[in-house]
């Protein structure tokens, strides 16, 4: 196992009713805050009123910014940072899904940063230039990204047709409130996309060519089995507390560093390819991942890495056999069928995407060099996978 430092500073308040603590938690860090949210989901399900009530009880001054888009825009980040500077705000509280939390991190960074975070952090990847940021906190309403416990932010720039991420330890939320009852209102489509996103985060870390990472693989198999067990239940019965709770905690544990700490290598090629789809077509992240993942699996499978597919087949799905490649192919089909059972489509054509931008996407995905570790994917490989997914 490689050396590592595991340090997640996020205080997690999990369970029904935890939102009543939001005022007290904020007060530890700030008295004037930016309250950031998306369109109208938190007004519809009553969370907005609760948050305002509990913040007001602790005399927290609130400036609001709403309308964060799924695939959040750099323009919203700039607008939020202007508000924070103008009103001397001391913390950004995101109430929403991954897009709102990612946008909050962008705002927290841009507020204290003298240059342009889009250029320096997202495009040029000079993450160490970011030395200061406002504290971020979150109330999560959609289980998917893990943004509630990590330092990642993924932002979109529609003028440049790019969707790019950056990360920093200082952007990990100081606290996150995870109340599964607020995910009861997430519709079937976003529930399915969220489940696929969690599974994809696990695949990106589970599938690596080395034979090490025994403990990490076993933890990830447990998380995968949890999502595979509970996603169909939440999909059919959105108010099933146990299903929503298990999926919510799985989302946080799957991308907070727990499952990659000490691992020799991880992959992340499917995410980089999906970000190209979202950048060019503004699609839902988890849907793009659900389409690409089985094709990526088929493309990278070879004799060096077939052992990972066999482990996945045996330990997650209970699929066994004498021929490793047959077992691998069966489990890839099983994965696609599982996604389809949640009404995730199988091809890009199904979501209205044709091949006209494939070359652009392959160029952009590999602009910093080959991607992935299971198989290092160059321009022609990305083009091939996109074509397979057509
Ligand atoms: O805008 P509102 O009205 O809130 O509606 C949202 C939005 O339309 C709705 N929603 C959220 N909570 C709801 C709800 N509707 C009903 N009831 C609720 N309780 O769901 C829609 C999608 O929300 P969004 O935040 O976009 O979804 P998600 O959490 O899947 O976030 C996706 C974004 O996160 C990025 C993705 O690329 C994408 O931009 N990612 C962030 C990562 C990270 N920070 O570590 C990693 C991921 O791999 C991913 O790239
Ligand atoms: Zn993801």
Model confidence over 126-151: pLDDT tens digits? 999 999 999 999 999 999 999 999 99
β 152-157/162-167 pair status: antiparallel
CATH number for the domain running over 11-182 = 3.40.50.1970
Where would I find the beta strands (DSSP E) of the chain?
A: 11-14, 32-37, 61-65, 91-96, 136-140, 152-157, 162-167, 175-178
Taking the CA of residue 100 as reference, the ligand 1 atom at the shortest distance is 25
Ligand 1, CB cutoff 6 Å, lining residues? 38-41, 45, 70-71, 96-100, 102, 141-142, 144-147, 150, 152-154, 182-183, 185-186, 190, 194, 197, 255, 271, 278, 285-286
Q: Which residues of the chain form CATH 1.20.1090.10?
A: 188-388
Give the count of alpha carbons within 13 A of 252, CB side only. Answer: 26
For the domain spanning 188-388, the CATH number is 1.20.1090.10
CA angle 275/280/284 to nearest 5° reads 55
Q: Which residues surround ligand 2, an ion (CB under 5 A)?
A: 197
Closest residue by CA, ligand 1 atom 48: 145
Residues 99, 152 contacting (CB under 8 angstroms): no
| CA–CA distance, 165 with 156 (Å, rounded to integer) | 9
Q: What is the mean pLDDT of residues 168-191?
A: 98
Q: What is the pLDDT of residues 272-331, one digit of tens each?
A: 999 999 999 999 999 999 999 999 999 999 999 999 999 999 999 999 999 999 999 999
Mean pLDDT of the chain, nearest integer: 97
Q: What does the pLDDT read at residue 43?
A: 98
Distance from residue 202's CA to the centre of ligand 1 (Å) = 18
Q: How far apart are CA 73 and CA 118, in angstroms?
A: 10
Q: What is the pLDDT of residues 70-93, one digit of tens each?
A: 999 999 999 999 999 999 999 999
Which ligand neighbours the alpha carbon of 38 most closely?
A: 1
In this prediction, residue 121 carries a pLDDT of 98
Residues of the chain with CATH 3.40.50.1970: 11-182
């Amino acid at each position: 196992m490689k050396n590592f430092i595991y340090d997640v500073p996020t205080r997690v308040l999990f369970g029904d009713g935890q939102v009543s603590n939001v005022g007290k938690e904020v007060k530890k860090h700030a008295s004037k805050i930016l309250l950031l949210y998306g369109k109208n989901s938190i007004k519809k399900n009553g969370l907005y009123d609760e948050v305002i009530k509990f913040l007001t009880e602790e005399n927290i001054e609130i400036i609001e910014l709403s309308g964060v888009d799924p695939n959040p825009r750099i323009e919203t980040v700039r607008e939020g940072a202007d508000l924070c500077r103008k009103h001397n705000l001391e913390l950004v509280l995101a109430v929403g899904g991954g897009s709102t939390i990612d946008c909050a991190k962008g705002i927290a960074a841009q507020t204290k940063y003298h240059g342009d975070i889009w250029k320096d952090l997202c495009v040029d990847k000079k993450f160490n230039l970011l030395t200061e940021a406002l504290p971020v906190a979150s109330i999560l309403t959609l289980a998917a990204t893990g943004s509630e416990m990590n330092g990642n932010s993924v932002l979109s720039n529609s003028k440049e047709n790019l969707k790019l991420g950056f990360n920093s330890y200082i952007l990990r939320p100081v606290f996150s409130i995870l109340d599964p009852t607020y995910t009861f209102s997430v519709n079937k489509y976003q529930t399915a996309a969220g489940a696929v996103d969690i599974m994809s985060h696990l695949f990106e870390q589970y599938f690596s060519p080395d034979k090490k990472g025994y403990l990490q693989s076993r933890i990830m198999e447990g998380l995968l089995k949890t999502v595979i067990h509970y996603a169909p239940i939440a999909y059919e019965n959105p108010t099933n507390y146990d299903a929503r709770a298990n999926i919510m905690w799985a989302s946080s544990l799957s991308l907070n560093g727990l499952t990659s700490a000490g691992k020799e290598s991880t992959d992340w090629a499917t995410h980089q390819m999906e970000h190209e789809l979202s950048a060019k077509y503004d699609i839902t992240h988890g849907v793009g991942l659900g389409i690409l993942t089985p094709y990526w699996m088929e493309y990278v499978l070879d004799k060096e890495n077939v052992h990972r597919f066999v482990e996945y087949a045996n330990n997650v799905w209970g699929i066994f056999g004498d021929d490793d490649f047959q077992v691998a192919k069966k489990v890839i089909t099983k994965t696609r069928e599982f996604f389809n059972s949640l009404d995730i489509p199988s091809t890009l054509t199904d979501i209205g995407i044709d091949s006209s931008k494939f070359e652009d996407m392959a160029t952009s995905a590999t602009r910093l060099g080959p991607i992935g570790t299971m198989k290092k994917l160059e321009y022609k490989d990305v083009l091939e996978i996109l074509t397979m997914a057509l």
